[in-house]
Amino acid sequence: MKEIYQHIRDALENNETGVILTIIAIEGSSPGRLGDKMLILANGQTFGTIGGGRAEYEAIKEVQSHWQRRDIWRKSYDLDEKGGMLCGGKMEVLFEPIGTRDRLIIFGGGHVGKVLARLAPDCGFWTIVVDPRQDFANKENLPQANQIICQPYGQALKKLQFNENTYVVVVTNSHAYDELVLKHCAPLELAYLGAIGSTTKTKKILGDLRAQGIPEEAIERIHMPIGLNIGAQTPEEIGISIMAELIASKYGADVSAVAMKKLQN
């Protein structure tokens, strides 16, 4: 049982999507014991057992057909011949999804990236910071980051996983790096994609992306220049303006309307 808790802890720390199965009630004979747990991850890995046999097989199928479900639910399984087993009893299983926090991937661990990594946990984000510079990509500089990747951006992009719950902020120290990341991420189905930059830089990079064949609908999803227009000047203020835009996007607020309201107040 100790081993299964270690796997659950590792999955939670890595924000891996999965479901914890727990036997919460037993009637009659059962191959599993009350409190037995099993962890099923989205990548197909399983840890622990709730007794094996037909009931466990059906429970795994239940999870596989409800990956998008985010609430806790329960289900009973007959352990008789009708249910494909000979134990004669019944067991009830609780299903608890994990790894549901939105992921924020920050490309660039400099001044603004550092502020964002500090703000992110309090705003509900599980955060990854990518930067090839060892002086920036370290736990001392980014103590609140859940994961730090010190690799060239192109190499990291090949390994990272992106989905509709992923927020991407591009604040590297080079226009070329910004463009590299945006070219990779623009066609993806993301919750948010934004990059820091002046009006001139924005026009140049978005023009380059068009010239490289990135579809216009993908380019239109890029938030650039990033951040609500609140007159931010310092890295702290810029980080706050970006986080405010992420939150607005998360809850479906009209970002342009929010910015205008801020300016008018």
On whether both 116 and 93 belong to a single domain, the answer is no
pLDDT in tens, 93-108: 999 998 767 889 999 9
On whether both 35 and 144 belong to a single domain, the answer is no
**Terminal Cα distance for the chain, rounded:** 57
Would you say the C-alpha torsion 216, 259, 178, 207 has a positive or negative sign? positive
CB 69 within 8 A of CB 41: no
Query: What is the rounded distance in angstroms from the CA atom of residue 85 to the CA atom of residue 73?
Result: 23
On whether both 83 and 193 belong to a single domain, the answer is no
pLDDT in tens, 199-231: 899 999 999 999 999 999 999 999 999 999 889
On whether both 150 and 71 belong to a single domain, the answer is no
- Of 48, 63, 98, the one marking the end of a domain is 98
Report the CATH number at residue 156: 3.40.50.720
199: number of Cβ within 10 Å: 9
In angstroms and rounded to an integer, the radius of gyration of the C-alpha atoms of the chain is 23
On whether both 33 and 106 belong to a single domain, the answer is no
On whether both 86 and 145 belong to a single domain, the answer is no
On whether both 108 and 229 belong to a single domain, the answer is yes
On whether both 75 and 185 belong to a single domain, the answer is no
On whether both 64 and 185 belong to a single domain, the answer is no
Domain count, the chain: 2
- Of 82, 98, 114, the one marking the end of a domain is 98
- Note if the bond before 225 is cis, omega within 30 degrees: yes
Q: Can you give the residue range of the structural domain that contains 245?
A: 102-264
On whether both 133 and 233 belong to a single domain, the answer is yes
Query: What is the rounded distance in angstroms from the CA atom of residue 51 to the CA atom of residue 69?
Result: 24
- Residue 256, φ and ψ in degrees, nearest 5: -65, -40
pLDDT in tens, 28-50: 877 889 999 999 998 889 999 99
Range with lowest mean pLDDT among 17-21, 141-145, 146-150, 159-163? 159-163
On whether both 112 and 234 belong to a single domain, the answer is yes
Alpha helices in 186-234, H assignment, sequence order: 199-211, 216-219
Phi-psi region at 217: left, alpha or beta (left = phi > 0; alpha = psi -120 to 50)? alpha
- Of 41, 63, 98, the one marking the end of a domain is 98
With 70 as the cut, is the pLDDT of residue 255 above it? no
On whether both 112 and 88 belong to a single domain, the answer is no
